[in-house]
A and B are shown apart, each in its own frame.
Chain A
Amino acid sequence: MSAPNDAVPAVTIEGHWDFDYTYFAGSAASRFFAELRNGRIMGSVCPQCERVLVPARKFCDACFVDTTEWREVSLNGHLETFTILTSSIPGSPEAPFVVGYVKLDGASTALLNYVEGVDLTDLDKAGAELLPRRRVRVVFNEAPQGRITDFRFVLGDAA
Chain B
Amino acid sequence: MGCQPVQSVFVSGAATSFTWADARFSLTDLIYECVKEALADAGVAASDVDAVVLAAHDLVDGRGLTNMVTAPAAGTYLKDETRLGEDGATAFILGDARVRSGSVRRCVVAAWGRASEGPVDRIANALFDPFTTKPLGMTEVAVSGLRATQAIATYPSYGAEREGAARSRHGSTDPSRVPSIAWPLRPLELPVWADVVAAAVLSAEPSAVEITGVGMSTEPFDIGDRDLLSLPALRQATDQALRTAELGIEEIDVLELDGLTLFDDALAVEAVGAAPQGQGMHAMAKGLAVNTGGGSSAGYCAPAMGLVRIISAYRRVVDEGAAAALATGSSVVASQNQAAVVLSHQTTR
Contacts and interface: CB of A to CB of B under 8 A. Distances in A.
Interface of A: 1-2, 4-6, 10-12, 15, 17, 21, 23, 25, 29, 33, 53-55, 61-62, 80-89, 91-92, 95-97, 99-101, 109-114, 123-124, 126-127, 131-133, 147-149
Contact of A131 (B37, B130, B149): B149
Nearest to A131: B153
B152 A83 contact: no
Contacts of B132: 55, 111-112, 148
B150 A80 contact: yes
B133 interface: yes
Given A83-B145, A86-B183, A1 B33 contact: yes
B160 interface: no
B225 A53 contact: yes
Identify which of B23, B135, B224, B228 gathers the most chain A CB atoms within 10 Å of its CB.
B224
Contacts of B228: 81
Contact of B136 (A5, A55, A114): A114
Given A112-B136, A113-B136, A29 B225 contact: no
A149 B137 contact: no
B5 interface: no
B223 A10 contact: no
A19 to B, nearest CB: 10
A99 B142 contact: yes
Contact of B182 (A83, A88, A92, A124): A83
A92 B153 CA distance: 26
29 contacts: A1-B30, A1-B37, A11-B23, A83-B142, A83-B148, A83-B183, A85-B142, A85-B145, A85-B182, A85-B183, A86-B180, A86-B181, A86-B183, A87-B180, A89-B121, A89-B122, A91-B135, A97-B137, A109-B222, A109-B225, A110-B223, A112-B132, A112-B223, A112-B224, A131-B149, A131-B152, A131-B153, A147-B135, A148-B136
Give me the 5 closest cross-chain CB pairs, A-B, nearest first: A83-B145, A10-B23, A84-B183, A110-B224, A87-B180
Given A10-B24, A89-B125, A127-B149, A111 B137 contact: no
Given A33-B131, A62-B220, A147-B135, 14 more contacts: A10-B23, A17-B62, A25-B131, A62-B225, A83-B146, A85-B137, A86-B180, A89-B137, A92-B136, A99-B138, A109-B225, A112-B133, A126-B183, A149-B135
User: How many B residues are at the interface, by size bracket?
Assistant: 35 or more
A81 B25 contact: no
B24 to A, nearest CB: 4
B221 interface: yes
Nearest to A11: B23
A10 B29 CA distance: 13
Contact of A99 (B62, B137, B181): B137
A61 B184 CA distance: 31
A13 to B, nearest CB: 11
B224 A54 contact: yes
Given A29-B131, A85-B182, A127-B183, A6 B146 contact: no
B146 A101 contact: yes
Interface in B139-189: 142, 145-150, 152-153, 180-185
A82 B149 contact: yes
B135 A81 contact: no
Contacts of A83: 142, 145-146, 148-149, 182-185
A37 to B, nearest CB: 15
Contact of B224 (A4, A29, A101): A101
B130 A23 contact: yes
Contacts of A4: 24-25, 29
B8 interface: no
B17 interface: yes
Contacts of A110: 223-225
A81 B142 contact: no
Given A61-B220, A88-B137, A99-B142, A81 B153 contact: yes
Nearest to B142: A83
A33 B132 CA distance: 10
A148 B135 contact: yes
Contacts of B181: 86
B146 A82 contact: yes
A123 B186 CA distance: 12
